[in-house]
Chains A and B, each alone.
Chain A
Amino acid sequence: MNRQQTLWLISILIIVFFMTFPFLYGRRDYDYIMHVLITGFFYAILASSWSMLSGYAGQFSFGHMAFMGLGAYGTALFSHYFYLSPVPTNLCTEFEIGDQYFIIKDAIGVTSSTLDQDCLTKALAIWDGSVQITPMPIWIGILLGSMLGGIFGLLIGMLVLRLRAAYLALFTLGFSEILRATISAEIKITRGQAGIELPYLFENGITVFGHEFSKTDKIPPYYVMFFLLLACMAVLAWLAKSRFGLFVRALREDEDAAAALGVNTVRFKIMVFVITSTMAALAGAVQAHYVGIITPNNLMILQMSLVVAMAVIGGLENFAAAAIGAIIIQFLLELLRESFVIGGVEVDMTLWRLVFFGALLMITLRFYRNGLITPIIEFFTRAHVASETVEKRMDPKTEDVEEEGITG
Chain B
Amino acid sequence: MIELEVKNLNKRFGGLHVLKDVSFGIKGAELIGLIGPNGAGKTTLTNILDGAIKPNSGTVYLNGQRIDQLPPFEVAKVGLGRTFQVTRSFRRMTVLENLYVPALAKHVAADKTEVTNKALEVLDFLTMRHLRNEYAQALSGGQQKLLELGRLLMLDPDIIILDEPFAGVHPTLMEIIYEYIRKVNEEGKAIVLISHQMDSIFSLCKRLLVLNYGDLIADGAPEDVKNDPVVVDAYLGKDDDENSDTTNNEKQNSA
Chain A interfacial positions (CB closer than 8 Å to B) = 243, 246-247, 249-250, 252-254, 256-266, 317, 382, 385-386, 388-389, 392-393, 396, 400, 403-407
Rounded to whole Å, the gap between the CB of B130 and the closest CB of chain A is 3
Contact of A260 (CB < 8 Å), options: B76, B89, B134: B76
- Which residues of B approach A to under 8 Å, CB–CB? 50-52, 71-73, 76-77, 81-82, 84, 88-94, 96-97, 100-102, 104-106, 112, 116, 120, 129-134, 151, 155
Taking a contact as CB atoms under 8 Å apart, the answer to whether A260 and B81 are in contact is yes
In Å, the complex CA distance between A393 and B133 comes to 13
B112 touches A261 (CB 8 A): no
Interface centre among A262, A317, A406 (most CB of B within 10 A): A262
State which of A254, A259, A265, A403 has its C-beta within 8 Å of the C-beta of B96: A403
Contacting pair B73 A264 (CB below 8 A): yes
Q: How far is the CA of A261 from the CA of B106 in the complex (A)?
A: 8
- Selected from A263, A266, A317, the residue in CB contact (under 8 A) with B92 is A317
Considering only CB atoms, which chain A residue lies closest to B101 in the complex? A250
Instruction: Contacts A260-B50, A392-B130 given; indicate if A406 touches B94 (C-beta within 8 A).
Output: no
Prevailing SS type, chain B contact patch: helix
Q: Which of A382, A385, A406 contacts B104 (CB 8 A)?
A: A406
State whether B52 touches A261 (Cβ < 8 A).
no
Answer whether A254 and B90 are a contact pair too, CB < 8 Å, given A259-B73, A260-B52, A260-B82: yes
Contacts of B51 in A (CB 8 A): 259
CB distance from B210 to the nearest CB of A (A): 25
Please, how many angstroms separate the alpha-carbon atoms of A100 and B73 in the complex? 53
Contact of B134 among A252, A257, A385 (CB under 8 A): A385
Q: How far is the CA of A392 from the CA of B155 in the complex (A)?
A: 26
Give which listed residue, A247, A264, A389, contacts B133 with CB less than 8 A.
A389
- Taken together as a complex, chains A and B put the C-alpha atoms of A154 and B102 apart, in Å, by 26
B133 touching A253 by the CB < 8 A rule? no
From B102, B112, B133, contact of A262 by CB (8 A): B102
CB atoms of B91 and A262 under 8 A apart: no
Cβ distance B195 to chain A, nearest Cβ, rounded Å: 19
Nearest Cβ distance between residue B152 and chain A, in whole angstroms? 8
Which one of A252, A388, A396, A404 has the greatest number of beta carbons of chain B within 10 Å?
Answer: A404
Would A262 and B73 be within 8 Å (CB), given that A389-B131, A404-B94 are in contact?
Answer: yes
Nearest-CB residue, chain A, relative to B131: A389
Chain A residue at minimum C-beta to C-beta distance from B152: A261
B96 touches A404 (CB 8 A): yes
A72 to chain B, nearest CB (A): 34
Inter-chain contacts of B82 with A (CB < 8 A): 260
| A260, A403, A406 pick with most chain B CB within 10 angstroms | A260
CB atoms of B106 and A262 under 8 A apart = yes
Are B101 and A258 in contact, CB atoms less than 8 angstroms apart?
A: yes
